[in-house]
Structure 1
Amino acid sequence: MIPGPQNSITDISGLKVGNAQDDTLKSGVTVLTGDAPFTASVSVLGGAPGTRETDLLAPDKSVAAVDALVLSGGSAYGLDACSGVVEGLRAIGRGYRVGEAIIPLVPGAIIFDLLSGGDKDWVSSPYPALGRAAYEAATTSTPIGTVGAGTGAMTAMMKGGLGTASLVLDSGITVAALVAANPMGSVTTPGEKHFWAAPYEIEGEFGGLGPDPNTGLGRSLASRKLTAMLERANTTIAIVATDAALDKAQCQRVAIAAHDGIARACVPAHSPGDGDLVFSVATGTKKMSAASELGVIGHAAALCLTRAIARGVHAAVPAPNDLLPTWGCLNAKT
């Protein structure tokens, strides 16, 4: 397995990512869409999720494909970003047709960033407009760090961010991840230098410092975030994708496997105060060589998600009124 040309979810042909953010608000929206509707499912393992239309992604539900997926800041308010995406899709005649009606199908999930230091004293929710702007900005490139849904994200000890990563399997199938990393847990070992994800890093993509040489790790739960905010102000939300031809049940299995990627990169993960969720997408342009390849795709999805989390945090940049420092600021050479 090797990373795709961009090391991004847009290495999967036909997929596009759009971002919009308000730096004064310290929040934003990220949208994944495609040239055509795609098969999708979801797995939720966190104890405090915030979602829209995820029930229709269950394998036993009749919806076969969706038009876009949304990752948003804003907690419950951020779910309205999906409405903005629905408006954008409807404007171009995209969606599920029932007679003369057009119904764009846009599931979404949110992180809590309402206490991120931004100005949240709005009169009308900004999220529908941010959702529409993110959809209309969708391209085949994917910036990372303090952008889109990662704008107000924070980890236990430093700013979080939006991350992505990809792998091309030996069979030619591509697997990738896109994530807004805002966990209760830490993404680095004590000292805030080495990433938990370090054993899975490829070609120095998040600093190249390697694993922490210390042992007995994982017992300290120090958190600047908990001091500055609240226990339930968390969540890592992600999308893993492949160009393999998968049905909804197979997509769900990949989403479940991909949660290993969160657990490898965030310590602890899947807590009662996290809303950890993984969407899984299949564009269906390549056939698996054997049924057993589904396990390889799930494994690759977990690897991509681990790396994407670390990449997003590593790329975060400082901004006025930040509550937490960035990895770069904490590890600046003096």
Structure 2
Amino acid sequence: MFEKLGFKIGHSTNKEALTGCTVILCPPNTVGSCFVSGNAPGSRELELLSPDMTVSEVHAIVLTGGSAFGLACADGVMRFLEENGIGYQTPWAKIPIVPAAVVYDLNVGNPKIRPTAEDGYNACLNASVNFETGLVGAGTGTTVGKWAGFEYRMNGGVGFSIVQIDELIVSAVAVVNSVGDIIDEDGKIIAGAKANGKFIAEDKKFRFALQRKIQFGTNTTLVCVMTNAILSKLETYKISKRADDGISRAIRPAHTSYDGDIIFTLATCKVKTEFEILAELSSYVVAEAIRDAVRKSNP
């Protein structure tokens, strides 16, 4: 089903340093925007995605580990796109539009080794409609359930979800590195702060009792919604805001002062649809992608 959208996703993974990057390559004429709901984001070129900015086409999205250092990945993605003649046409050159966002994984592996431009380039070479999920790419060193202290964490990872109704296709890829626990559709914890084989939050009197151990700027959930719906740039922004509900459905607590959550929406503009239908489906696939990440990363 994903191949019908025209997007390709690739990873570069460093298993020894526990970091990596994930690149989403867009088909021609893809429109995109984003919504920042977290309070500690790390990013590049996000202002360009604001609905009031001139350029609406997006050529790739970079999701990367390495905190702000990992933004160097986007240089390699730009080089790959330029070599393939892809970019926004100016009188003298084509400029690839490559927004990027980061997760903080320096506390897990080797903090001196971060994704580079070469990793971004290699992720483009690896891009395919068939891609791995779990502890790969930007999700290699991600963790969840840190509200009770880093020592109680579980793996985060990269997750994916997709749904089709008639001709409309909506999918999401998520990189999960949250303060909060991950919960299923019934509110049951499936990954998070755990001690002695038991989820700490199951004993509600202990919830957030150890918040003082959380560090600012070291947690984030990144999501990219991809659809074939016909949308304007403003509408992709609105879908990003609505899709953000999916984070709240799957993470508890969500959007804390310690998280830098960002949701991108990319539309190939092929299929007419009702906005509210698309918004609800987007929220659904976001929540499912987050759950998929921790299920794959904590077998």
Equivalent-residue separation in structure 2 for 1:299 and 1:43 (angstroms): 16
CA pair 222-315 structure 1, distance change in 2 beyond 3 A: farther
CA pair 185-226 structure 1, distance change in 2 beyond 3 A: farther
Of the candidates 285, 301, 310, which is equivalent to residue 291 of structure 2? 310
Of the candidates 127, 136, 146, which is equivalent to residue 147 of structure 1? 136
Tell me whether 1:67 sits opposite 2:59 in the alignment.
Answer: yes
Superposed CA deviations along residues 277-309 of structure 1, whole A, max 9, x for unmatched, are 100010111122xxxx11111111111011111
Equivalent-residue separation in structure 2 for 1:79 and 1:173 (angstroms): 33
Contact 2:12 2:120 in 1 (8 A): yes
Tell me whether 1:27 sits opposite 2:50 in the alignment.
Answer: no
Contact 2:13 2:20 in 1 (8 A): yes
Contact 1:11 1:166 in 2 (8 A): no
Q: Match of 2:175? A: 180
Partner SS, residue 36 of structure 1: coil
| Structure with the higher fraction of residues in helix conformation | 2
Equivalent-residue separation in structure 1 for 2:212 and 2:254 (angstroms): 15
Tell me the CA shift for residue 172 of structure 1. 2.1
Equivalent-residue separation in structure 1 for 2:266 and 2:115 (angstroms): 27
Equivalent-residue separation in structure 2 for 1:284 and 1:142 (angstroms): 23
Q: Match of 1:101? A: 93
Contact 2:5 2:227 in 1 (8 A): no
- What runs of 5+ residues in structure 2 fail to find an aligned partner? 146-152, 192-198
Question: TM-score normalized by structure 1?
Answer: 0.79
Tell me the CA shift for residue 82 of structure 1. 0.9
Equivalent-residue separation in structure 2 for 1:218 and 1:172 (angstroms): 47
Report the RMSD for the aligned CA atoms in angstroms: 2.5
Equivalent-residue separation in structure 2 for 1:200 and 1:296 (angstroms): 23
What code does the residue aligned with 2:127 have?
Answer: A
Alignment of 1:276-291 (within 5 A): 276-288=261-273
Q: Match of 1:235? A: 220
Superposed CA deviations along residues 108-134 of structure 1, whole A, max 9, x for unmatched, are 100010111x22334xx6421111111
Of the candidates 162, 166, 179, which is equivalent to residue 166 of structure 1? 162
Tell me the CA shift for residue 272 of structure 1. 1.0
Tell me the CA shift for residue 215 of structure 1. 8.9
Contact 1:184 1:231 in 2 (8 A): no
Equivalent-residue separation in structure 2 for 1:58 and 1:218 (angstroms): 42
Question: How many percent identity over aligned positions?
Answer: 33
Equivalent-residue separation in structure 2 for 1:300 and 1:113 (angstroms): 30
Tell me whether 1:38 sits opposite 2:30 in the alignment.
Answer: yes
Q: Match of 2:120? A: 131
Tell me the CA shift for residue 100 of structure 1. 3.0
Tell me the CA shift for residue 179 of structure 1. 0.6
What code does the residue aligned with 2:94 have?
Answer: I
Tell me the CA shift for residue 64 of structure 1. 1.9
What code does the residue aligned with 1:149 have?
Answer: A
Equivalent-residue separation in structure 1 for 2:238 and 2:106 (angstroms): 32
Superposed CA deviations along residues 245-298 of structure 1, whole A, max 9, x for unmatched, are 10011111110011111111111111111001100010111122xxxx111111
Tell me the CA shift for residue 13 of structure 1. 2.0
Superposed CA deviations along residues 292-328 of structure 1, whole A, max 9, x for unmatched, are x111111111110111111111111xxxxxxxxxx33
Contact 2:157 2:175 in 1 (8 A): yes
Q: Match of 1:220? A: 207
Equivalent-residue separation in structure 1 for 2:250 and 2:290 (angstroms): 7
Tell me whether 1:300 sits opposite 2:295 in the alignment.
Answer: no
- Size of the aligned set, in residue pairs, is 282
What code does the residue aligned with 1:235 have?
Answer: T
Contact 2:26 2:58 in 1 (8 A): no
Superposed CA deviations along residues 172-205 of structure 1, whole A, max 9, x for unmatched, are 2011110100001111xxxxxxxx123499xxxx
Contact 1:12 1:242 in 2 (8 A): no
Equivalent-residue separation in structure 2 for 1:172 and 1:215 (angstroms): 41
